[in-house]
C-alpha cells in the first residue's frame, strides 16, 4: 500500500464522554506467544500465509490454514498511520494510532501510542521505539511508542 503523505483530513469530529474499561485478560495463542518472544528481543514478527504476511501473527491464515513460518520484519520497516484517535489519560492527551507496515506482502497493523507532542496525520510515516532490553517483558508495552520516521 502506497500512501499519499499529504494530510487528507482537514476536519475532525470530537465526541465528549468517558468509557470505563475493566481489566481484560486473554490467552494469546501460538502467534501471540511468538510475538511476545520477538517483542522482548526488540523485534516485530508476522506470519507467512503464502501471498501475504500477517502482522501481528494470529496463528492462522485467512483461509484458516496454518501459517508457513514466522517472519521477522527488518528493523528499518516503514510504518504508516492508517487512522488515529486522541484520548485523555491522567488529564493528558494521548494519540493512539493504527500503524500499518509498508511492504510488498505485509498486511495488518499494530494499535499503539504516538510519541507525545508529535502532530499526527493519516499516512504519517512512523517507526516503533522499544524500551531498553532490561525493561522488556514480552508484551506490546515493550514498544514505548511510534515515532516519526525520518
Cis peptide bond upstream of 64, omega within 30: no
Range with the poorest average pLDDT among 59-68, 77-86, 98-107? 59-68
Place 48 in a pLDDT band, splitting at 50, 70 and 90.
very high
Output the pLDDT for position 65.
Answer: 80
Asked whether the beta carbons of 95 and 120 are under 8 A apart, the reply is: yes
Residue 40 has φ and ψ, to the nearest 5°, of: -60, -25
Global confidence as pTM: 0.80
Name every residue whose Cβ is closer than 8 Å to that of residue 112 and which is 6 or more positions away in sequence: 96, 97, 99, 128, 140, 143, 145, 146
Amino acid at each position: 500500500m502506497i500512501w499519499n503523505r499529504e494530510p487528507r483530513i482537514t476536519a475532525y469530529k470530537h465526541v465528549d464522554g468517558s468509557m470505563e474499561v475493566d481489566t481484560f485478560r486473554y490467552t494469546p495463542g501460538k502467534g501471540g506467544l511468538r510475538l511476545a518472544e520477538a517483542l522482548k528481543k526488540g523485534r516485530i514478527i508476522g506470519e507467512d500465509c503464502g501471498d501475504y504476511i500477517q502482522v501481528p501473527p494470529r496463528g492462522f491464515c485467512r483461509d484458516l490454514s496454518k501459517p508457513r513460518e514466522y517472519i521477522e520484519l527488518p528493523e528499518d520497516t516503514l510504518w504508516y498511520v492508517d487512522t488515529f484517535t486522541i484520548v485523555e489519560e491522567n488529564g493528558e492527551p494521548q494519540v493512539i494510532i493504527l500503524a500499518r507496515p509498508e511492504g510488498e506482502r505485509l498486511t495488518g497493523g499494530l494499535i499503539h501510542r504516538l510519541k507525545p507532542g508529535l502532530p499526527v496525520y493519516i499516512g504519517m510515516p512512523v517507526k516503533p521505539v522499544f524500551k531498553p532490553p532490561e525493561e522488556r517483558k514480552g508484551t506490546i508495552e515493550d514498544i514505548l511508542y511510534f515515532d516519526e520516521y525520518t
